[in-house]
Chain A
């Protein structure tokens, strides 16, 4: 039976069928694990120090300063809240201006059965407090210019949200036959009376609000302070903040906050990562020492298999 051709049933001799595929067979040996832990530990400590120092260098009053408002105990991540919006409408599809999606219910139609645009709970609960910041210099208030441009994600502004095509050159006409959200003082096309281009769905504040937060305690960017004397940060001094209070938070036991902060390459001020890296790194180093001791003590001999 030497002749291969004759024996038809003989299985093929390939590395695959014979389970002999060449393979890398890593083993968690002391030579890999102990140095591995040590290296990871040292690297983590290094990164941790870097992160921690970066986080510490974030100063409130060095420019550019970012002006956030914060809400707590506010469940933007509640499922029914989250789905209560109509992306077709928000991408400017006027068909959905007439009949908003069911998901928006009960904020789809107003009492006159007119469709609400933008519909849904998220839009309806749009944060509409406004703030004015003054520096008090010698008793006089000096308005700190706030920059509201580009505070939303570029993709939201340019891709995700679109205004309906203008009707007779007017945004307002495009919203004909629709109703404003119940809580809103003004319709969508009149959100920003000062800047015509900042209206409709492409209003920066609206975009920021529509990007709902992951956690019940969140902060959202309100303005940047990038202009004039304040481009390099807020100089030390007295400031006064005027709040045009529209938004009720007390009834849900929530809190409003105003935060001024600047950012670094790793984002806003957050010590967690730095500390975590330091702790984990140190633990790794300690662990590698323990491992070395254990290895020296228990190292099993080869011939007891």
Chain B
């Protein structure tokens, strides 16, 4: 909570350095450090009302009405009773206040929950369980396994050897791989000794609270010795302790001063383009209001001068015309206030909220496997979903499942993996019904692995040497680590699983393989798992040996060398000695690379394999070529010697090693090729196709490698063979990048040459200019790597880059950093004036999700960070098409219709006063009864329009998906723009003229059927009121294209309500209670029984509406929009849209290489070093498994970092977000 005063004081005494003495609360309390209780709530019961009202009146609309209210109590200008403003204002304020109160109660609740968590604190040498909120800086606390870290701690000691602890930082950065922290030896020696810990009096001197998660500096003074402290020694709040029985820590920062809390900055408040347009329009409306009032004030001045002064006999009043005009100005401000509709903002919020609920409720966006429904986390951005022009997508985990499956292979010129019809020989599509190969002969087989071609298993059983060599290579040549699980442990885990995740029972049951592989790249994992199932089980490795089980026989190979992978080599090899003593080199790598190093005798096989490789590549599979070579013992020992020399060389070690590798990896014998499918999320290709039809441009921004990204680009149809060209920008200097971009652009559009000079001009302009869309003949793709992107994003080149990129159909940026992702988004936002959407699943996507207009997080997976900072979240990329093409389009349509209609009805209402002014001496006489003025917006017209904006759909969901082109008008903001607004104003002008002048003319000099008064003020008011209500109601009916029961109820109900309330308000009873307020008594009875009144109403309504009908009919006939066409088609079909049925995308391409590998350098050294072979005794999470049906290997983590403990994706991670993350503090600016 911010009391301004307090804040100021605190800021003055900004901490420069933090001094803490362990176990000395007295000393520490002198510094007034924050305690560990956090407070994210804004109000308490006493401050709620004043603070909330203060906040609400900061909104211009509310403040405006407050001013109006003040004006209304000034008798000289009060032209309307105060209640006409008070009633709506109070309603609006209380609705908002109620919403704020509920939010704050939730915040209180979550604060309380977090603050009341229990932790063991060491007080006076004894462990006492206390609440989190009572933890203070300087306390020593004990954490146990799987507990959240209470505050920012200095790690003192732990249960693990070497004083290590393992933590998971999912809540901080979204990475679920474990990280290791280690305490100082001097503190670690205290171990669990409560006495030693209790008397520990080390003094810490460290940096003041800040938000740098990756940095910490400080010193610990203990026993007169100074020890330096860094990030390695610190556990941050928000982490979770894993695989560590216990640890002790000294609290450094608590509560709001922890790095987590310091990081939870106020999220930027996103506003939709409609919001921004509204701000402009509201200013315009204020201008219009002022203009009207000035006209009327001047009119009053003139009138008073000419006519009014002579009327003084009957009504003595202000003599000074100027002053009278001045008062009139304010009086008319009050009367015409309805042009600035107070209920507009509230209604907009309600509509957005309603449309958000539809997203939450949509079963078509519910993912059954992970039991995740879609969620609209921000409820204020819906209509923006209907205007998306650019989609920025992450790759891993978003487009792909990050699951690799070993799909096909080619062994000795024979291709395996396809299933053929037994008799006709026709290739069959693999579906859920296809029977997979039965691996039951192999007790070590991984049951999740599915393979459908039975001929391969036959070949293995026949012990064909090629096939055996193939799988032997896969089992030997890798950097995977194996881990055997004990039975008992497994059972325990399963029982736990039943208790914790009842819904995932049968998934976990099928997990019986107790050999677990830890692979740093999912590709490798898939390959080793394939070998395992085909009887070549990799069991374990030591730095010197690799133990595998070949068809049930355990064999231990001596590992002599690992020739590690890197980006240039694009291959890796191992040199092993078989139990028989034979020396072999096994190599796998990119086809082009390996082919150059094959023995000439393989030529024939190469040809056959190449065919297969092309076939695999064409299907979007990632391919690797496998080769081996037998090595001569003497040669090897000599080579080994040189290798050793090189590896200790001080100069050019890399080059020398590369040369050596090069030397030995040649004349290899080809075995075959593997094809791995980087499994796309379901329906990705179709979704991308749909979005492309909706003219949404998709840019893939991935941290992955170029090859992998390109490969995925092809397999999800972003890049296509038919494309005229796919430009690859991978240069190392700004000039080269510029040249490559320019070349690409000129190739796409040679005629842009002269425009080239326009670019500097644009840059010189102070205001950001817009880059126009340039149409290009043909389809092009652009692939740019992170290095080049860094140059391309520099201010001198960003426009060049943007121009080129926007001409391309597809843009793929690979190897980009999270920051670059955000920069790309910002670039497009800045110069394209288009609405952007970013979709991602990991912590590295957070920046882009926050930068884009709309951020979408993929939920139901590891990490919460992306979801927590997103505006919408769902489980599968394919839901994006429904979110945009159905929900987004509808939301936008509804909002626009709502706004158009809302302005129309309010302007029409208000303009009638304007016309009447010319006939009532500009005296600020209202046309309508005050009761009507109060109720018009609240009761008579509120629900029908709300019903329209909650239920309307021009075409249903099926048709929306069938014709993605329907989305285009939203991108062009066609439904509501300044132009549309002006049309509204003009339309209202016309309608108000009709509504005023038709009753005027009809009642002029006339009487009722019994000769008594028929043209009195009260009758006239009632007639215009009726005309107005009926007209806007009919107009609504015309706008409404989807009449559900609710709409009928609202429309007819409101119309009925008008008559009921009108008669009620004009009854004797109410008049008796308060004659001055209900002076219209009897008017309804005397007026509405006149046939000419009804004829007038009918004439007015039709005069207002028929031109609109005619206009719509003509525009629909002469220049039909896409909506008209689809609606017409729909009407003719009289059937719901056919379920979209798309043939499976078949790609027959001639792509040369499908090489892509997500492997990173450096793991060869790792697996041969002893250090990493030590692993913690238990690893509880490995048994969790999300996608039970999905075959293949589950990666340990999406990040490149190697996780020492295998931790697979959880089906639904119940990570409790901290309260701050749950509630985004939103500072709502004006409007």
Contacts and interface: CB of A to CB of B under 8 A. Distances in A.
B1043 A66 contact: no
Given A77-B925, A267-B1090, A272-B1001, A284 B1095 contact: no
Given A82-B925, A267-B1092, A305 B366 contact: no
Given A81-B315, A82-B925, A265 B1009 contact: yes
Contact of A18 (B363, B1006, B1118): B363
B358 A19 contact: yes
Given A11-B362, A155-B1085, A159-B1081, A220 B368 contact: no
Interface stretch (B5-13, B464-472, B902-910, B916-924): B916-924
B161 to A, nearest CB: 42
A251 B1117 contact: no
A160 B311 contact: no
Interface string B888-909: 0010000000000000000000
A88 B1073 CA distance: 10
Most chain A CB neighbours (cut-off 10 Å) among B311, B364, B953, B1102: B311
A267 B366 contact: no
B921 A159 contact: no
A26 B368 contact: no
Given A159-B1068, A252-B310, A263 B919 contact: no
A267 B1009 contact: yes
A213 B1005 CA distance: 10
A269 B1008 CA distance: 10
A221 B919 contact: no
Interface string B1119-1135: 01010011111011000
Contacts of A68: 1007
B1118 A160 contact: no
Given A27-B1131, A273-B1092, A211 B921 contact: no
B286 interface: no
Nearest to B1041: A25
A40 B1102 contact: yes
A180 interface: no
Interface string A47-90: 10001000000000000101010100111111111101011101
Contacts of B1102: 40, 44, 280
Nearest to B360: A11
A78 B1011 contact: no
Interface in B300-333: 307-308, 310-311, 313-317, 331
A75 B1126 CA distance: 56
Given A19-B358, A305-B1129, A221 B1013 contact: yes
A33 B1020 CA distance: 32
B1075 interface: yes
A211 B1099 contact: no
Interface string B860-898: 000000000000000000000000000000100000000
Given A25-B1043, A221-B1007, A270 B1082 contact: no
Interface stretch (A186-194, A233-241, A293-301): A293-301
Contacts of B790: none
Nearest to A272: B1001
A121 B1095 contact: no
Interface stretch (B214-222, B369-377, B675-683, B977-985): B369-377
A300 B1119 CA distance: 9
Interface string B1093-1120: 0011001001100100110111011101
Given A212-B1016, A214-B1016, A75 B1009 contact: no
B1002 A272 contact: yes
B1043 A10 contact: no
Interface string B1055-1080: 00000000000001001100110010
Given A10-B366, A88-B1075, A270-B1005, A305 B963 contact: yes
B1079 A87 contact: yes
Interface in A17-40: 17-30, 33, 36-37, 40
A11 B360 CA distance: 8
A6 B313 contact: no
B371 A17 contact: no
Contacts of B269: none
A153 B1125 CA distance: 56
A91 B1068 CA distance: 12
Given A214-B1015, A270-B1004, A294-B1114, A9 B1090 contact: no
Interface in A128-163: 150-156, 159-160
Interface string B905-937: 000000000000001110111100000000000
Contact of B1017 (A77, A263, A265): A77
A21 B311 CA distance: 61
A165 interface: no
A111 interface: no
B1082 A155 contact: yes
Contacts of A22: 1044-1045
A63 to B, nearest CB: 11
Contact of A277 (B79, B963, B1011, B1095): B1095
A33 to B, nearest CB: 5
A304 B1122 CA distance: 10
23 contacts: A1-B368, A11-B361, A19-B951, A28-B1113, A33-B1110, A78-B308, A121-B315, A211-B1013, A212-B1016, A213-B1016, A214-B1019, A214-B1020, A215-B1015, A263-B1009, A263-B1010, A264-B1009, A267-B1009, A267-B1014, A273-B1099, A284-B1106, A299-B1117, A300-B1117, A305-B1122
Interface of B: 75, 79, 307-308, 310-311, 313-317, 331, 358, 360-364, 366, 368-369, 371-373, 502-503, 890, 919-921, 923-926, 951, 953, 956-957, 963, 998, 1000-1021, 1041-1047, 1068, 1071-1072, 1075-1076, 1079, 1081-1082, 1085-1086, 1090-1092, 1095-1096, 1099, 1102-1103, 1106, 1109-1110, 1112-1114, 1116-1118, 1120, 1122, 1125-1129, 1131-1132
User: Would you list the 4 A-B pairs with minimal beta carbon distance, nearest first?
Assistant: A155-B1082, A214-B1020, A87-B1075, A17-B361
